[in-house]
């Protein structure tokens, strides 16, 4: 059982399929928060207001297809994991195209009886990546705290002349450059 809470945007137009997928997800994830949508407008709104950890999408939808949903998702956040759960991708070329387009993986609906078993490794990878990113965010946070402490120290230095004041300014500028480079990475 995955203990990390997951926010899941489920893109599905068939109510019974959505309910079955929710049932299987709850077998894998201890505390999932699941929102369901079936059109691009609702998906876009949920991407911004719900901020999911992963998108799980059907391929055939009434007003669009899975590649449209994938593009919208990747435009919102190129690193957001995206999993197709569909009955359509039985074609090897179409399956390959979904992966090449940025999907994290796909599971066929014909495996609905053991969907939890099929989804579990994909969702475990999502959690692993979330934890990895969280560690990076924590390191960045600690670096910023250190930088703020250095700034405070520099502000408290008793400078005797203009040259020393200019040196303090240059030190702060160099710290800013290094800090901005680290944030961009």
Confidence of residue 91 (pLDDT cuts 50, 70, 90): low
> Using 50, 70 and 90 to split pLDDT, how confident is the model at 38?
very high
Q: Distance between alpha carbon 171 and the CA centroid of its chain, in Å?
A: 36
Q: pLDDT confidence of 100, banded at 50, 70, 90?
A: confident
> At CB < 8 A and 24+ separation, what contacts does 125-128 make?
125/81, 126/6, 126/53, 126/54, 126/81, 127/2, 127/4, 127/6
Q: Assign 120 a pLDDT band (cuts: 50, 70, 90).
A: very high
At 94 the pLDDT is 67
Q: What mean pLDDT do residues 109-127 have? A: 91
Q: Nearest-5° angle of CA 131, CA 58, CA 50? A: 45
How far apart are alpha carbons 2 and 19 in whole angstroms?
Answer: 20
Backbone angles phi, psi at 120, to 5 degrees: -55, -50
- Please give the average per-residue pLDDT across 53-80, as a whole number: 93
Where are the extended beta strands (E) located within 61-137?
82-86, 105-108
Q: How far apart are CA 126 and CA 157, in angstroms?
A: 47
Residue 140, pLDDT > 90, answer no
Q: pLDDT-derived band of residue 182, with 50, 70 and 90 as boundaries? A: low
> Is the whole-model pTM more than 0.75?
no
> Greater confidence, 34 or 155?
34
State the Cα–Cα distance between residues 155 and 115, nearest whole angstrom: 59
What is the rounded CA–CA span in Å between residue 102 and residue 119? Answer: 17
Q: Can you tell me the mean pLDDT for 12-40?
A: 96
């Amino acid at each position: 059982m995955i203990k990390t809470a997951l926010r899941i945007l489920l893109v599905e137009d068939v109510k019974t399929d959505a309910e079955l997928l929710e049932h299987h997800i709850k077998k894998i994830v201890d505390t999932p928060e699941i929102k369901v949508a079936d059109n691009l407008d609702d998906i876009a709104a949920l991407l911004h207001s719900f901020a999911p950890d992963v998108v799980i999408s059907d391929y055939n939808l009434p007003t669009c297809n899975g590649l449209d949903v994938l593009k919208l998702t990747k435009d919102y956040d190129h690193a957001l994991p995206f999993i197709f759960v569909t009955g359509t991708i039985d074609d090897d070329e179409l399956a390959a195209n979904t992966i090449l387009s940025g999907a994290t993986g796909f599971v066929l609906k014909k495996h609905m009886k053991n969907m939890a078993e099929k989804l579990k490794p994909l969702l475990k990878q999502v959690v692993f990546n979330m934890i990895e990113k969280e560690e990076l965010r924590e390191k960045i946070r600690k670096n910023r705290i250190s930088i703020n402490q250095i700034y405070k120290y520099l502000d408290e230095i008793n400078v005797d002349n203009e040259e020393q004041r200019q040196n303090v300014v240059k030190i702060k500028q160099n710290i800013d450059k290094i800090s901005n480079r680290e944030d961009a990475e």
